Amino acid sequence: SDFLVKGPLSYQESLDNPVSIDINEQLVNSSLNGRAESKDFELLKVLGKGGYGKVFLARKIRGPDQGTIYAMKVLKKASIVRNQKDTAHTKSERNILELIRHPFLVQLHYAFQTPGRLYLILEYLAGGELFMQLEREGVFNEDTARFYLSEIVLALGHLHSQGIVYRDLKPENVLLSVTASVNA
């Protein structure tokens, strides 16, 4: 459902701390750190819940990237396969996440499935949602708004260059990194 845009936690931090369903597991996993399965991850906490599943903060406990923290999106197949449109949407999301590589778009690291669930292992961005940042600050000043919007425009431009139209852009779907680096 979300091809999340990412950016630094705040405009000021970027100035202060510059830093330069039918899942084909082989395609994603072979280009990264090998294959993965659910037992390779320790669930740390729930980050979010939706109609089809949950997103967990998870630590990789085996393999070359052992210790790495990820966002693990776990979808219940039974909920998805009830509706052909949802099935197609889930496949499309996974395929798009595999395709895109851009500094301002969340990266997919692994994708796999069990008989009852689909797993998308995504880059974890600890800064939370742009929506929450806006709630904390109230109103962004012009420089801050320009900063975030420029990164979002670059991310959307990349998606459009790949023939992808993102139709769910809202502050809740824009994730922020903790450091000012968007190349983290």
* pLDDT averaged over every residue in the chain: 82
Rounded to whole angstroms, the Cα distance separating 98 from 102 reads 11
Catalytic residue among 16, 86, 143, 168: 168
Confidence of residue 59 (pLDDT cuts 50, 70, 90): very high
Task: Tell me the two tokens of residue 132.
Answer: 């929450």
Write down the pLDDT at residue 138.
92
**Residue 51's pLDDT band (boundaries 50, 70, 90)?**
confident
Q: Which domains does the chain have, with CATH numbers?
A: 5-176 (3.30.200.20)
Is 50 exceeded by the pLDDT of residue 184?
Answer: no
- Report pLDDT for 6: 52
Region 90-116 average pLDDT:
93
Could you tell me the pTM of the whole model? 0.79
Mean pLDDT of 122-139: 92
Instruction: State residue 67's pLDDT score.
Output: 97
For residues 137 and 122, give the distance between their C-alpha atoms in angstroms, rounded to a whole number: 27
Mean pLDDT of 114-128: 94
Is residue 143 part of the annotated active site? The answer reads: no
Q: Does residue 32 surpass a pLDDT of 60?
A: no
Which of 9-13, 52-56, 92-96, 171-175 shows the lowest mean pLDDT across its residues? 9-13
Top mean pLDDT of 32-41, 83-92, 95-104 is at 95-104
Tell me what the mean pLDDT of segment 133-145 comes to: 91
73 labelled binding-site residue: yes
178 pLDDT exceeds 90?
A: no
Please, which pLDDT band fits residue 177 given cuts at 50, 70 and 90? confident
First to last CA, the chain: 23
pLDDT of residue 79: 86
